[in-house]
Structure 1
C-alpha cells in the first residue's frame, strides 16, 4: 500500500531524510527517502547493510548514497553496494510521484 511520505519540495536534489513507516506486519520500517542529484526520488532501507548506521545521514552523490561511518555506498535504484566494505544490498522500496506527493510502498520491495 502506498503511503504519503513527503511533498516533492521537502527535499532538494542531493538530500536525504529518515522516515519510519508502518510495515505490512505492523512493525516500523526505517527508510531513507533520497532525492538523487538528477532530481529523482528513491527509498532504501535507512540501515547500512555493513553496520547499524543510518544511511540518511550520509552523502548523496549522483545516484548513490554513502554511509557516513565506513564509506560504503549503495546504488539508489537497485540497493546494490558500489563501494566496500558493504557487500550486501539494502532493500529498495517503490516510489511514486503523484502531483506534489511522494508515495512509498513498504509492503513490497523492488
Structure 2
C-alpha cells in the first residue's frame, strides 16, 4: 500500500496528537519530541479516541482510564489496557505527514 498524505506537520501539536482517517481507519498522528508516529486512534481497552489524550516520553495516554501505549510498538505500558494498538509507518516530506497502513514485511 502506498503512503497517504494525512496532514501538514504543523497541524500536529508538539508533544500532542491529531486524529485523522486513512481508508476508513481512525489514526492518531502523534509528535513526541522531533519524532512523528501513527497509531490506531481507538484505545484497545475502552474504545475511545487516543488522540484526545496526552503524549509524553514516547507514549500516548488514553484520557478515559489512563492506559499508556508505546508510540513505537503500540504495546500498553500500564493497565488497564492489555492489548496493543496497531502502529503504522510514517514519513514526513516537504512539511507534510504521510501514513501507510501496510503491515511490515
> With structure 1 as the length reference, what TM-score do the two structures score?
0.89
- Residue in 1 that maps onto 2:93: 98
Matched, 1:46 2:30: no
How far off its partner does 1:109 sit? 5.5
- Residue in 2 that maps onto 1:25: none
| Structure 1: gaps spanning 5 or more residues | 23-27
Q: 1:94, 1:17 → 2: CA distance? A: 16
| Structure 2: gaps spanning 5 or more residues | none
- Residue in 1 that maps onto 2:60: 65
Which SS does the other structure have where 2:51 is aligned?
A: helix
Q: 1:105, 1:4 → 2: CA distance? A: 9
Q: 1:75, 1:48 → 2: CA distance? A: 12
Equivalent residue pairs, number: 104
How far off its partner does 1:13 sit? 1.7
- Residue in 1 that maps onto 2:9: 8
Q: 2:5, 2:29 → 1: CA distance? A: 12
For the aligned residues, what is the CA RMSD? 1.3
- Residue in 1 that maps onto 2:25: 29
Structure 1 stretches (4+) deviating beyond 4 angstroms? none
How far off its partner does 1:19 sit? 0.8
Contact 1:91 1:109 in 2 (8 A): no
